[in-house]
Amino acid sequence: MEKVIMGNHAVSYGVQLARAQVIAAYPITPQTQVVEILSEFCANGTLKATFIKVESEHSAMAAVVGASIAGARAFTATSSHGLALMHEVLHWASGGRLPIVMANVNRALGPGWNVWTEQTDSLAQRDTGWMQFYCETNQEALDMVLQGFKIAETVLLPVMLVLDAFVLSHTEEPVDVPDQETVDRFLPPYEARYKLQPGDPRSFYGLVAPEHWMELRYKMQKAMEEAVAVTQQVGAEFGQVFGRAYDVVEKYRMDDADLALVTSGSIVGTSREVVDELRDKGQKVGLLKIRMFRPFPVAAVREALAGVKKAAVVDRNISYGVGGIFAAELKSALYGTPHQPTVFPFIIGLGGRDVTPQSIRDIVAYAQEHDAPAEEIIWMEVKR
Amino acid sequence: MSYIITFKSEADMPDTTVSLGTTLYNKTGTWRYMRPVYRNKTSPCNYACPAGEDIVNYLQMVVRGEYEQARQRILEENPLIGVCGRVCPHPCESECNRAELGGAIAIHAMERFLADLPGKHELPRAEKTAPRGAKVAIIGSGPAGLSCAYQLARRGYKVTIFEALPVIGGMLRVGIPAYRLPRDVLDREIAAIQSLGVAIRTGLRLGENLKFEDLRDYQAVLLAVGQHRSRKLNVPGEGAQGVLPGLEFLRRINLGEKVEIGPKVAVIGGGNTAMDAARSALRLGAKTVMVLYRRSRYEMPAIDEEIEETEQEGVRIEYLTAPVEVLTTDGRVAGLECVRMRLGEPDERGRRRPEPIFGSNYTLSVETVIPALGQEADLSFLDEAVRKAAGLIVIDEAAATSRHGVFASGDAATGAGTVAHAIGSGKRAALAIDRLLNGQTLAGFPALNEHVHVAARNVDPTIVRFEDINPAYFTPEPRTAQSQRPAAERVKDFREVNLGFTESEALREAQRCFSCGTCNQCDTCWLYCPDVCIQRREHDSYEFNYDYCKGCGVCAEECPRGAINMEEELKWRK
Amino acid sequence: MSNYQVLSEARGQVLSEARGQVPDQELMSPGHVACPGCGAPMAVRYALKALGENTVLIVVASCWSIIAGPFPYTAVQVPLLHTLFATGGSVASGVKAGLEARGLKDTTVLTLAGDGGTFDIGIQALSAAVERNEDFIYMCYDNEAYMNTGIQRSSATPWGAWTTTTPVKHPKEQPKKDMVAIMAAHRIPYTATATVAYPEDLIRKVQKAKGIRGSKFIHVLSPCPSGWKSEPAQSVLLSRLAVQTRIFPLYEVEHGEKYTINVWPKERVPVTEYMKLQGRFAHLGPEALAQIQENVDREWEKLVAKAGVTHLNREDAKNAKGT
């Protein structure tokens, strides 16, 4: 059924359809609507789940870890400082190989207080062993909840789906909300492989000596590597069932592109328009959307950029001392491949500063006009 | 089983940190430098009992409701359970650690309770070790002789007891009044011994109408003649009519003779015989009975309860006084001149020597004087072949006299003066005779001041004292006193004064027992072990799991009864 | 059935009616790596006996994280979840919800944390969970310092005690935090104290907690020979003395209001009897000891008043069987 809903509510519908069993969350702008409507669903029985009204995000993730190892399908949502507060528990979830799904609404980290969109919060957690998916639209956010559980429960790694604050979270877009029966066919009930089971007494997450540690971590990395193919399979299956297929990246008008815009999140939507516009003018510009950031889709990215001369990476985030994070990861993925494009690393839109079609045109223009970036980081629209 | 888990490759490992086995792989016993060991030790009551009874264990049987087993445990060592339960001075109670927390266990009354259990009882059997046709003669049917006869008869010996008096039982029959030891109790216990095939022939006195040559057919002889002669008063007028030596007085009463005593009676002495004489005199109708003792109350050798009961019955005890002359009129007692005493320096046994206070003489008007100053053995029937010293037959640890094949026990050899000693002494002689007649050595018996057991004990000789008990597990419960007939009523006859325990009293009293040094399966060690290293085995015992025991010592510290020792691990590792 | 049932002697005064309440089943194995004489494995052994197999044990970062044994081994025969230091209250809430979602409504969740994970770093999550009246039993085994990291002070460390962060020249200046009062102030259905010298009492309390729906908090004093500088063999003795000196009274609080004292020590045992056995108090002089005695006496009287005991019924209270 088609509804016109904000991104936060799209996530909530996704969680309801996924039949999550335990939800624990703490409110933080701009995530609050996710939990508010889930609370209503639990209260009126349209979602048979326990909603634990925890007192902090650290506790929210801990509660969800507890529920998941107890064998239940568990979900939480947060943003920015809430995500940062959960940090140590994120490691417990991934090392614990728990198929938790979390929605993170990208928001800048203070000080000063800034509630608007920036990707630094989720990217700062890129080493925690969580899978990360960046959503372009509200539809994608809902769809990602459903796929997220399926992928997570297959590879036994937790999944974070990410959407921009306000641009997606609070903006209403048309979203196709699938029916429960179809979702149930796509996503069966959760059967935990590892769980707390009275009668089968096992101890979880205790002391591991160096003699065993590396093998367990090796297995985690292997799971991440398998996750690429799993994500592609699940995305293809989703297409068959719901009519919307997904892959780890999306190539838009990349076939003969000389210059590729490489970006993620809602900026992708803006970029599509500019690419169409420039193509109409005869410029060979394409768009590579990075949907899955963790694991980084190395093979797909290499393949997509193989014949491209220039890659303009648009980062709405920064790792201080290095620069845009997608740009750094991209360079690392391309290292050693023949015919590497010149990478132009752009930083724009931090703290919710608007990214407009003109911004994208300026970015393309810069890349077209320069053989190589004139600085290590190309700051866009900063008064300097 | 090793329980150790190893992985050849990551493919063998689970995806996350989840256990596959238990910590049993980790033998923490290697941490230990001290190890706990269950060591039952000697309880003070067992240490003190001259009859060699296993008191601590029989009390625990009572606690568990195993009354008959408790009885049998006593009878194993001592066939005269009803006798001892009435007349023993209970040195066990004097040593009892429970005295520090509410009062010593009333072991004495407990023994009586077990003796009086209703129903048919049998004496416990023993393995037959007697050589074919072995015969033993015992001279004297007192407690020493009866104990020896019992231990020999149950092993298959043919025993004959020769008793000088017309009645059986020695001092039990003629020295102890019926109100302390009812005749039917004594008869029953003697009959039980006789039912094992022991023959008792009365009216035969060795040295008179029985000679050593008559005993040629017997492979061994036991002299258990006791001490039946009263010590003399050694004052002028002692030979007057109305002076009745205490032992003779009691004997005549017990033999059913009529004894004339005056309305006013003076008993001289401070032992049980003096108390018995005084109380018997009351029962015979004396109007005034007093006991004169030359030392103070503290030094009186009589059992405390006896002294109390004597006073309750109206006997006046005068301390620090002694007779100097029996005043007579026409050869009959008319009065007694006494002198006050004071306590001087201690004698060779540590008792303070009484000295007369010059000029403090005074006169008592009495018609009967009963000296009860102690007993002596009449050993005139023995020649030099049997060595004597200090008025007693000399014996070694095997109760053997200087004459081969002749043994001695009881008061005639030890002078100890109690039934329990006599029983232990007779038992020792029986075990020695058994060895002799089986051609075994007589070496290896415990010293004469230690006790002999029939049943093996397997107990560390360390005696447990109150500081070895963990008082945290006990509350001060008062000792249960057995009921008695009221004094005013009981002086009218010779019926038993003490009434013993009811079952619930006996149980309550037994439950107060600390079980010193003796594991009674209280589970305290099992309960507190932080390493789950104590397993409860079949037959109510425990086992330490030394594979894992870290030697923390909590079990030893907490054991309420000191039955666990911590010992150096290295000594065990050899 | 334990043989000590036949004894009439009280194993501690509260227990004359509680005898025979120790279930036989062992749900903890030897081979765990607690220090010799440690109170913590005793507490868990008793708690698991009280609860049986249909239990999930959550172990918050503390000595028990190590005691339980390394991967791939476990020391208990119930499912065990190790969790982060500050997450006792939160993980337990999630585990309970997860178990119920799977239909395991009767499985007891027992959260085990040390004093650090309860009084300090874990207090926020604990307070939040019990404010929501989440259904679990929270058992704090209190050895009065951060022992697992090497004896650093916590807010549970008693006044005057030595720890590595409250050295002898500057021992702990603050009194021990009253965690039971804090829990009782949340008005949870059941709060209690217990200690390892009184296992039947601890078991009774855990079983009572199991039968109540909602948040239950049990504060267990757990002697630590390593950190208290005491003899391993004396851990049970110390635990008993703590109760008898009234330093650690055994009592229950229901719904934050009804106080019941379980053990009323018959004699007044001076605090020095307890403290002289521990090296962590060795530096205290007579003035400090007198101050401690005064503090203990005052706190005891406050507890007595909370239990509704006045001069009119004090004798009855002293003699009552404390169940």
Q: Which two tokens stand for residue B456?
A: 């093996």
From chain A, the residues in CB contact with B25 under 8 A are none
Residue found under tokens 């491949």: A337
Mean pLDDT of chain B: 94
In CATH, which of 3.90.1150.10, 3.30.70.20, 3.30.200.20, 3.40.718.10 is domain B22-40+519-573? 3.30.70.20
Residue C240 identity:
R
> What are B37-68's pLDDT values in tens digits?
999 999 999 999 999 999 999 999 999 999 99
Residue C5's pLDDT band (cuts 50, 70, 90): very low
Contacts of A212 in chain C (CB under 8 A): 71-72
Q: Using CB atoms within 10 A of its CB, is residue C254 exposed (0-12), middle (13-18) or buried (19+)?
A: middle
Q: Are B111 and B73 in contact (CB under 8 A)?
A: no
Distance, in Å, from the CA atom of C274 to the CA atom of C281, rounded to the nearest integer, reads 10
3-state secondary structure of B10: helix
Q: Both ends of chain C: CA-CA distance in Å? A: 21
State whether CATH 3.40.50.720 applies to domain B234-372: no
What CA–CA distances, in Å, run from B500 to A119, B85, C228? 93, 9, 53
Residues B188-243 pLDDT 10s = 999 999 999 999 999 999 999 999 999 999 999 999 999 999 999 899 999 999 99
Residues from chain C that touch A202, judged by Cβ atoms under 8 A, are: 74, 79-80
Q: Could you tell me which chain B residue has the CA closest to the CA of C46?
A: B527
- C132 to A198: CB separation less than 8 angstroms, yes or no: no
Instruction: Please state, in angstroms and rounded to a whole number, the distance separating the CA atoms of residues A379 and A348.
Output: 6
A2-242: what fold?
A: Rossmann fold (3.40.50)
Chain B closest CA to C198's CA: distance in Å? Answer: 10
Write down the pLDDT at residue C317.
79
Task: With cut-offs at 50, 70 and 90, classify the pLDDT of residue C7.
Answer: very low
Q: Are B254 and B174 in contact (CB under 8 A)?
A: yes
Question: What is the pLDDT at residue C320?
Answer: 67
Reduced to 3 DSSP states, what percent helix, strand and coil does chain B have, rounded to the nearest 5? 30, 20, 50
Q: In sequence order, which ranges of chain C are alpha helices (DSSP H)?
A: 39-51, 63-67, 88-101, 115, 123-131, 179-185, 199-210, 225-228, 235-244, 271-275, 286-306, 314-319
Contact C82 A62 (CB under 8 A): no
pLDDT band at C8 (very low <50, low <70, confident <90, very high): very low
State how far the Cα of A275 lies from the Cα of A260, in Å rounded to an integer. Answer: 9
Burial C154-181 (b: 16+ CB within 10 A, else e): bbbbbbbbbbeebeeeebbeeebbebbe
Residues of B within 8 A of C269 (CB-CB) are none
CA-to-CA dists, residue A84 to A108, A145, B5, angstroms: 11, 21, 38
Q: How confident is the model at residue B1 (pLDDT cuts 50, 70, 90)?
A: low
Q: Which among B141, B172, B144, B114 is positioned nearest to B50, based on CA atoms? A: B144
Which residues of B431-525 form beta strands (DSSP E)?
460-463, 483-484, 498-500
Specify the pLDDT at position B121.
84
User: Which phi-psi region, left, alpha or beta, contains residue B333 (left: φ > 0; alpha: ψ -120 to 50)?
Assistant: beta
Which residues 520-539 of B are in CB contact (within 8 Å) with C?
A: 520-524, 527-528, 530-533
Which residue ranges does chain A devote to CATH 3.40.50.920? 249-379
Q: Are A69 and A37 in contact (CB under 8 A)?
A: no
Half-sphere exposure of C280 (CA within 13 A, CB side): 29
CA gap B275, B291 in Å, rounded: 8
The structure tokens 């054991």 sit at B559
Phi, psi of C134 (to 5 degrees): -60, 150
Q: Do A219 and B17 touch (CB under 8 A)?
A: no
Angle (nearest 5°) at CA C206 between C203 and C208:
105
**What count of other Cβ atoms lies within 10 Å of the Cβ of residue B24?**
19
Contact A120, A109 (CB under 8 A): yes
Which domains does chain C show, CATH number per domain?
3-319 (3.40.50.970)
Return d(Cα B534, Cα B552) in angstroms, integer: 13
Q: What is the mean pLDDT of residues A340-363?
A: 97
d(CA B264, CA C183) in angstroms, rounded, equals: 81
Helix (H, G, I), strand (E, B) or coil at A136: coil
Question: Which chains would you list as touching C if contact means 3+ CB atom pairs under 8 Å?
Answer: A, B
Among 3.30.43, 2.60.40, 2.40.50, 1.10.1060, name the CATH number for the domain at B42-122+458-511: 1.10.1060
pLDDT average, residue stretch C257-268: 90
Q: Find the range with the poorest average confidence among B81-90, B310-319, B411-420, C12-21.
A: C12-21
Neighbours of C90 (CB within 10 A): 33
Does residue B510 contact residue B480 with C-beta atoms inside 8 Å? no
Q: What separation, in Å, do the N-terminal and C-terminal C-alpha atoms of chain A show? A: 49
pLDDT at A339 over 90: no
Q: How far apart are CA A164 and CA A31, in angstroms?
A: 10
Residues in chain B whose Cβ is within 8 Å of chain A: 7, 9-10, 13-20
Q: How many CA atoms lie within 13 A of C86 on its CB side?
A: 17
Q: What's the mean pLDDT when you consider all of chain A?
A: 97
Strand ranges (E), C84-172: 108-114, 136-142
Q: What is the pLDDT of residues C159-215, one digit of tens each?
A: 999 999 999 999 999 999 999 999 999 999 999 999 999 999 999 999 999 999 999
Q: What is the DSSP letter of C146?
A: B
What residue type is A233 in one-letter code? Q
- What does the pLDDT average to over A105-133? 97
Q: For residue C24, how far is the Cα from the chain centroid? A: 22
Q: How far is residue B264's CA from residue C314's CA, in Å, rounded to a whole number?
A: 58
**DSSP summary character for residue C28:** B
What is each CA distance from B460 to A189, A208, B38, B343, B565, in whole angstroms? Answer: 68, 48, 10, 42, 11
Q: How far is CA C97 from the centre of its chain?
A: 26
Is A292:A162 a contact under the CB 8 Å cutoff?
Answer: no
Q: Give the tens place of pLDDT for each residue, A48-101.
A: 999 999 999 999 999 999 999 999 999 999 999 999 999 999 999 999 999 999
Answer yes or no: do A198 and C127 touch at CB < 8 A: no
Residue from B16, B62, B522, B531 whose CB has the most chain C CBs within 10 Å, to mutate: B531
CATH superfamily of B135-228+377-437: FAD/NAD(P)-binding domain (3.50.50.60)
> Cα(B303)–Cα(B48) distance, rounded to whole angstroms?
16
The residue with greater pLDDT, A102 or C268, is A102
What is the rounded CA–CA span in Å between residue A199 and residue A197?
6
**pLDDT at position B353, please?**
87
Residues A336 and A138: beta-carbon distance below 8 Å = no
Q: In this structure, what token pair is assigned to residue B265?
A: 């009676």
Q: Are A271 and A315 in contact (CB under 8 A)?
A: no
CB-based contact A52 C93, cutoff 8 Å: yes
For chain A, which residues lie within 8 Å of any Cβ of chain C, measuring from their own Cβ?
21-22, 24, 49-50, 52-56, 58-60, 62-74, 88-89, 92, 196-209, 212
Pairing of strands B288-292, B264-268: parallel
Q: What is the H or E stretch that residue B21 is in? A: strand B21-22
Chain B hits for A156, Cβ within 8 Å: 15-16
User: Looking at the predicted structure, is the pLDDT value of residue C10 above 60?
Assistant: no
Measured between beta carbons, which residues in chain C are less than 8 angstroms from residue A52?
93-94, 97, 132, 134
- Going by C-beta distance under 8 Å and a sequence separation of 6 or more, which residues neighbour residue A154? A230, A234
pLDDT score of C6 more than 80: no
Q: DSSP assignment, residue C118?
A: I
Residue type at position C170: H
| pLDDT attached to residue C19 | 44
pLDDT category of residue B185 using cuts at 50, 70 and 90 = very high
Q: What's the complex ipTM?
A: 0.95
The residue type found at C187 is R
Residue intervals of chain B classified under CATH 3.30.70.20 are 22-40+519-573
pLDDT digits (tens, 9 = 90+) for C273-289: 999 999 999 999 999 99
Nearest of C141, C162, C160 to residue C228 by alpha carbon: C162
Residue B522 above 90 pLDDT? no
Q: Start-end ranges of CATH 1.10.1060 in chain B?
A: 42-122+458-511
Cis ω before A112 (30° cut-off from 0): yes
Query: In chain B, which segments carry CATH 3.50.50.60?
Result: 135-228+377-437, 234-372
Q: Tokens standing for B363? A: 């006169």
CA C170, CA C283: separation in Å to the nearest integer?
11
For CATH 3.40.50.970, the residue range(s) in chain A are 2-242
Overall size of chain A counted in residues: 384
Task: Residue B490: name the closest of B368, B312, B316, B253 by CA.
Answer: B312
Strand partners, B338: B323, B362
Q: Which residue in the set C29, C38, C199 is minimally distant from B532, CB to CB?
A: C29
Q: Are A59 and C100 an interchain contact pair (Cβ–Cβ within 8 Å)?
A: no
- pLDDT, one tens digit per residue, over A295-309 is 999 999 999 999 899
HSE-up of A110 (CA within 13 Å, CB side)? Answer: 8
- Within 45-64 of B, beta carbons closer than 8 Å to C belong to 63-64
Contact present, A269 and A214 (Cβ < 8 Å): no
Reported as a single tens digit per residue, the pLDDT across B96-135 is 999 999 999 999 999 999 999 998 889 999 999 999 999 9
pTM: 0.91
CB C144 within 8 A of CB C224: yes
CATH number, domain A249-379: 3.40.50.920
Question: Looking at residue C321, what is its pLDDT?
Answer: 55
Question: How many residues comprise chain B?
Answer: 574
Q: Which of A363-377, B508-522, B543-557, C286-300 has the lowest mean pLDDT?
A: B508-522
B479 close contact with C: CB closer than 8 A? no
Pairing between strand B392-393 and B135-139?
Answer: unpaired
Model confidence at B2: pLDDT above 90: no
d(CA C223, CA B449): 47
Confirm if C138 and C113 have CB atoms less than 8 A apart. yes
Give B247-261 pLDDT, tens digit per residue. 999 999 999 999 999
Q: Among candidates B40, A268, B460, B18, which has minimal Cα distance to C82?
A: B18
What pLDDT sits at residue C9?
36
